[in-house]
């Protein structure tokens, strides 16, 4: 590494060397100073020069907890190779390089036998800036991109839906202009927990709510009385799983009261485009005239009373002065002379929403009609309004997910709240510096190297088509047109996890014999844990890159030690979703054999013939390469650890109205039509209904009354709780598990009383898939008859070897969830974690009555599932 790539830091009077770093324990990325003595981390403090200030419970006073996490004796520090049976927890320590050699050899063998599609990867939520290195590796290896990730039910799939509709992502997790909002909608989100109570993001929301001069109207949509309800004028306690119906009702009110932004709908959305009533497809120029372009659409010009052709590549009508109708039915003569009735997309959307009156949706959601009306009216008229992203709203709503995603984009855009200060920001590839932006993740992935034959083999490619290559290609084209670069794969293109497990177990559609799991614990995150277990257990090669011996790692052939944020440099735009970069230098040298995940994929790539594509030996060199284009050096970047756009510039908002430098055209959106596609043509083109609709959740008292007889309680899972971050921070000994030692199921007092459950009782929660135990907390935050179970529980203190697997089946919410592929969202493959049926009862067995874990509860001995957890 050249000198230029090391950053100095400073030494204080106590001899502690302080280096800048950026925390990666959660998505907030607080600026952090790391103090080392003799190369060992001894202290931490907030980076006072950084705008992202915060030191939460995961870090602890002076960094105590993070430091204990970093040096914990249970951390994986060397490459481990399985020597016993799979799951027996018998390992041999081997050199990292040897592990790479052996994995490469085995992958080659499996590729020869089954083809490059035999490999799948599993990942978890965004935990590093290295995702592109995985796709670069798998793309070059000929793999179709088989990847299972919670992104199917968490934000990334929304990114893909947003790409189709607005050409980038309007689902902000952290709204920088929230202080300007007059209405704040918190829809299925627990801001204070998801960003830690002490983080700047939580403080920003609190400050916005406490602003006496311009007190915002806060609307909360959540079945649970979250903390923010204190500030809320309007609280909609919704029945879990019915949010899409609520969104449709908001649209119903907004259309019927005509409180949408007519200018936006008329001039910036594709609402005026005509849809043929005979085929129910958007009318295109090639329908209208021979030689017309398929990518051009048609509207009705009220001035000439004729159809007008929208030239997508020019972002304007071919004719001058067109005044397109937004409603109405028109007769159009097609190329062959046939006359067809056409209606505007907007009229069809309105008609669809007419079905969802507040009265009807009140019945579905359990929220009174007048509250629905008030919320919709406020959102549309008390502007600017923002409705950021909460995973509880629709991401995990099973077959209602995509419809909900479409509704959300429509709500934002037709009310004129898209990309305005105080509204929902729409970023772009950036930040633009010296006319360029730093190299984006999507550029590093090399998606163009994946051949059409390989693409066709992606697991789920023909089933959940928006998340496969067909969806990818359809938004890649306008993305490249607008910004000259590929749209990201990252987690925005996925195989839905339930399909992966079935492919592994049934060799269907082909044998998947190898998997790499990194920054991922699918034994805990994925639905239907028993299925996941069987699939992982049956692989020929399973490699896990980890910090800890998790239930997933316990099933591996190789477990490789991963470097954490305290020992790696960083350069991130959060999965290519931002117009800024955050990062910083490496604060300390990695412990023992820990390597960055980048090093793993590079190491494997080089061994598998990809040497020319991995010129950057260190990650510092990667960062330098990415910055070179904008004329910033690695060192300059590390001094601030941030590159961001000028948010005070007027050009930073409503960017669709600006003029493009490259051709002087009005910019529009990076969609096929360059308009905001409230009637998404990509979704239509993939043979789905582009209009949103609501279906009763797949498992509910209404859709499955026979199941409800035995399982009468409504179950929702989720609800973040600090200091845990998913399944992390549970290893005793750092101070975090000590703060929150046991899993909590929350239940209404009345329901608990009827069921004979007292506060603090260990309870069984059971669904048709299995049962788990958590501790009951009684209260009033939920309606009677609804419970919420904490996700992500495992017990690192339990034995690793089977059948214990660190308690992966004891309290894990996903033993309860269903992953039946027929019940997933048809467009994106989302499963349902919210809105299921269950029963809950006190643990009566004497051995379960104490706060003690079931070391002795596995009567079936060494194989199979522990008896207690059999459904």
Ligand X SMILES: Nc1nc2c(c(=O)[nH]1)N[C@H]1C(S)=C(S)[C@@H](COP(=O)(O)OP(=O)(O)OC[C@H]3O[C@@H](n4cnc5c(=O)[nH]c(N)nc54)[C@H](O)[C@@H]3O)O[C@H]1N2
Q: What tokens were used for 500?
A: 């992966």
Closest CA to 761 of 751, 774, 748, 742: 774
| 427/718 with CB nearer ligand X | 718
> Does position 154 bind ligand X by CB under 6 A?
yes
> Does position 56 bind ligand SF4 by CB under 6 A?
yes
Among 7, 19, 28, 251, indicate the residue that binds ligand SF4 (CB under 6 A): 28
| 428/620 with CB nearer ligand X | 620
Among 89, 172, 577, 717, indicate the residue that binds ligand X (CB under 6 A): 717
Site string for ligand X, 800-839 (x = CB under 6 A): -------------xx--x---------------xxx----
Site for ligand SF4 in 614-653 (CB under 6 A): none
User: DSSP 3-state assignment of 508?
Assistant: coil
Site string for ligand X, 170-199 (x = CB under 6 A): -----------------xxxx--xx-----
Least distance from C-beta 825 to Mo ion, angstroms? Answer: 16
Least distance from C-beta 562 to Mo ion, angstroms? Answer: 19
Beta strand residue intervals within 660-769, DSSP E: 713-717, 744-748, 762-767
> Does position 521 bind ligand X by CB under 6 A?
yes
> Does position 547 bind ligand X by CB under 6 A?
yes
Among 29, 190, 194, 352, indicate the residue that binds ligand SF4 (CB under 6 A): 29
Q: Determine the interface stretch with ligand X among 177-185, 461-469, 625-633, 712-720 (rule: CB under 6 A).
A: 712-720
DSSP string, 316-360: EESSTT--B-SS-EEEEE-TTS-EEEEEEHHHHHHHHHHT--HHH
- Please enumerate in sequence order all residues whose Cβ is within 8 A of that of 77, keeping only pairs 6 or more positions apart, or say none: 561, 591, 592, 593, 594
> Does position 218 bind ligand SF4 by CB under 6 A?
no
- Residues of this chain that interact with Mo ion (CB under 5 A) are 125, 154
DSSP 227: G
Query: What is d(CA 504, CA 707) in angstroms, rounded to the nearest whole number?
Result: 29
Closest CA to 355 of 695, 698, 684, 825: 695
Taking CB within 5 to 8 Å according to partner kind, which of ligand X, ligand SF4, Mo ion, none is near residue 718? ligand X
Q: Give Cα separations from 803 to 84, 86, 87, 286, 841 (angstroms).
A: 15, 12, 8, 62, 25
Site for ligand SF4 in 193-212 (CB under 6 A): 196, 199
| 344/700 with CB nearer ligand X | 700
Least distance from C-beta 329 to ligand X, angstroms? Answer: 36
Residue 584 zone, left/alpha/beta (φ > 0; ψ -120 to 50; rest): left
Taking CB within 5 to 8 Å according to partner kind, which of Mo ion, ligand SF4, ligand X, none is near residue 240? ligand X
Among 17, 20, 58, 239, indicate the residue that binds ligand SF4 (CB under 6 A): 58
Q: What tokens were used for 484?
A: 């000259």
Taking CB within 5 to 8 Å according to partner kind, which of ligand SF4, ligand X, Mo ion, none is near residue 810? none
Query: What is d(CA 855, CA 516) in angstroms, rounded to the nearest whole number?
Result: 30
Q: Determine the interface stretch with ligand SF4 among 52-60, 645-653, 787-795, 838-846 (rule: CB under 6 A).
A: 52-60
Helix (H) or strand (E) holding 1: none
Give the other-Cβ count within 10 Å of 570's Cβ: 24
Instruction: Give 424's strand partners.
Output: 418
Query: What is d(CA 863, CA 153) in angstroms, rounded to the nearest whole number?
Result: 32
Among 29, 127, 284, 343, indicate the residue that binds ligand X (CB under 6 A): 127
Give the other-Cβ count within 10 Å of 212's Cβ: 5
Query: What is d(CA 723, CA 399) in angstroms, rounded to the nearest whole number?
Result: 31
SS3 content of the chain, % helix, strand, coil (to 5): 35, 20, 50
Contact predicate 144/458, CB 8 Å? yes
Q: How many residues does this entry show for the chain?
A: 871
> Does position 87 bind ligand SF4 by CB under 6 A?
no
User: DSSP 3-state assignment of 35?
Assistant: strand
Least distance from C-beta 540 to ligand X, angstroms? Answer: 21
Among 5, 7, 19, 23, indicate the residue that binds ligand SF4 (CB under 6 A): 23
> Does position 565 bind ligand SF4 by CB under 6 A?
no
Positions that interact with ligand X (CB under 6 A): 26-27, 124-125, 127-128, 150, 154, 187-190, 193-194, 221-224, 226, 238, 240-241, 243, 390-393, 518-521, 524-525, 545-548, 550, 562, 597, 716-722, 724-728, 788, 791-792, 813-814, 817, 833-835
Positions that interact with ligand SF4 (CB under 6 A): 23, 25-26, 28-30, 54-56, 58-59, 196, 199
């Amino acid at each position: 590494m050249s000198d230029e790539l090391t950053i100095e830091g400073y030494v204080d009077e106590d001899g502690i060397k302080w280096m800048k770093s950026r925390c990666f324990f959660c998505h907030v990325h607080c600026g952090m100073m790391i103090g080392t003595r003799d190369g060992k981390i001894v202290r931490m403090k907030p980076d006072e020069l950084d705008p992202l200030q915060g030191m939460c419970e995961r870090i602890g006073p002076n960094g105590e907890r993070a430091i204990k996490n970093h040096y914990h004796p249970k951390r994986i520090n060397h490459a481990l190779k399985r020597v016993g049976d799979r799951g027996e927890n018998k390992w041999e320590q081997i050199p990292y390089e040897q592990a790479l050699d052996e994995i490469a050899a085995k992958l080659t063998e499996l590729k020869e036998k089954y083809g490059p599609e035999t490999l799948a990867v599993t990942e978890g939520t965004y935990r590093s800036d290295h995702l592109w290195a995985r796709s670069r590796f798998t793309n070059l290896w000929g793999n179709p991109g088989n990847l299972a990730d919670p992104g199917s039910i968490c934000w990334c799939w929304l990114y893909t839906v947003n790409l189709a509709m607005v050409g980038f992502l309007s689902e902000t997790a952290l709204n920088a202009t929230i202080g300007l909002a007059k209405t704040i909608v918190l829809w299925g989100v627990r801001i204070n927990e998801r960003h830690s109570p002490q983080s700047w993001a939580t403080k920003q929301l609190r400050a916005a709510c406490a602003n006496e001069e311009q007190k915002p109207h806060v609307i909360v949509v959540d079945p649970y009385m979250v903390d923010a309800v204190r500030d809320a004028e309007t609280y909609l306690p919704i029945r879990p799983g019915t949010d899409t119906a609520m969104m449709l009702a908001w649209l119903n009110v907004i259309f019927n009261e005509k409180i949408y932004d007519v200018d936006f709908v008329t001039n910036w959305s594709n609402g005026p485009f005509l849809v043929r009533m005979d085929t129910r497809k958007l009318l295109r120029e090639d329908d209208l005239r021979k030689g017309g372009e398929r990518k051009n659409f048609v509207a009705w010009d009220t001035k000439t009373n004729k159809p007008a052709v929208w030239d997508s590549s020019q972002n304007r009508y071919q004719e001058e002065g067109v005044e397109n109708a937004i409603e109405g039915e028109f007769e159009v003569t097609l190329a062959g002379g046939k006359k067809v009735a056409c209606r505007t997309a907007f009229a069809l959307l309105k008609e669809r929403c007419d079905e969802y009156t507040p009265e009807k949706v009140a019945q579905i959601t359990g929220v009174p009609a007048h509250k629905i009306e008030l919320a919709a009216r406020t959102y549309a008229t008390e502007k600017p309004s923002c409705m950021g992203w909460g995973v509880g709203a629709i991401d995990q709503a099973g077959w209602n997910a995509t419809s909900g995603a479409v509704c959300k984009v429509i709500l934002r855009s037709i009310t004129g709240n898209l990309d305005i200060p105080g509204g929902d920001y729409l970023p772009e590839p950036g930040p633009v510096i010296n006319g360029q932006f730093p190299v984006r993740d999507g550029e590093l992935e090399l998606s163009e190297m994946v051949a059409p034959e390989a693409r066709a083999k992606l697991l789920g490619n023909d089933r959940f088509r928006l998340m496969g290559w067909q969806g990818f290609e359809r938004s890649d084209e306008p993305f490249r047109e607008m910004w000259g670069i590929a749209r990201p794969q990252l987690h925005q293109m996925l195989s839905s996890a339930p399909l992966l497990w079935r492919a592994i177990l049934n060799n269907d559609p082909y044998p998947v014999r190898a998997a790499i799991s990194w920054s991922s614990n699918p034994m805990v995150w994925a639905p239907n844990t028993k299925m996941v277990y069987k699939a992982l257990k049956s692989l020929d090669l399973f490699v896990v890159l980890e910090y800890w011996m998790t239930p997933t790692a316990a099933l591996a052939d190789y477990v490789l030690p991963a470097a954490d944020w305290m020992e790696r440099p960083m350069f991130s735009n959060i999965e290519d979703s931002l117009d800024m970069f955050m990062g910083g230098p490496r604060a300390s040298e990695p412990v023992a054999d820990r390597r960055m995940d980048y090093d793993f994929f590079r190491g494997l790539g080089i061994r598998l013939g990809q040497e020319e594509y991995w010129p950057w030996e260190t990650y510092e060199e990667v960062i330098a390469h990415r910055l070179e284009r904008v004329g910033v050096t690695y060192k300059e970047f590390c001094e601030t650890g941030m590159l961001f756009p000028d948010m005070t510039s007027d050009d930073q908002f409503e960017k669709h109205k600006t003029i493009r430098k490259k051709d002087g055209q009005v910019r529009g959106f990076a969609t096929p039509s360059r308009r905001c596609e409230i009637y998404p043509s990509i979704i239509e083109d993939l043979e789905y209904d582009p209009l949103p609709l609501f279906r009763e959740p797949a498992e509910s008292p209404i859709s499955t009354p026979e199941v409800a007889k035995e399982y009468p309680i409504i179950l929702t899972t989720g609800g973040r709780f600090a200091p845990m971050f998913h399944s992390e921070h549970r290893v005793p000994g750092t101070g975090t598990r000590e703060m929150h030692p046991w899993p909590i199921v929350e239940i209404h007092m009345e329901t608990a009383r009827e069921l004979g459950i007292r506060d603090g009782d260990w309870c069984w929660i059971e669904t048709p898939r299995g049962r788990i135990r958590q501790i009951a907390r009684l209260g009033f935050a939920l309606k009677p008859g609804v419970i919420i179970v904490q996700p992500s529980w495992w017990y690192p203190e339990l034995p690793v070897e089977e059948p214990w697997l660190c308690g992966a089946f004891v309290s894990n919410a996903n033993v309860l969830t269903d992953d039946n592929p027929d019940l997933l969202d048809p467009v994106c493959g989302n499963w349902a974690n919210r809105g299921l049926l269950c029963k809950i009862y006190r643990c009566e067995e004497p051995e379960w009555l104490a706060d003690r874990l079931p070391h002795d509860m596995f009567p079936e001995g060494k194989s199979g599932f522990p008896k207690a957890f059999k459904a």
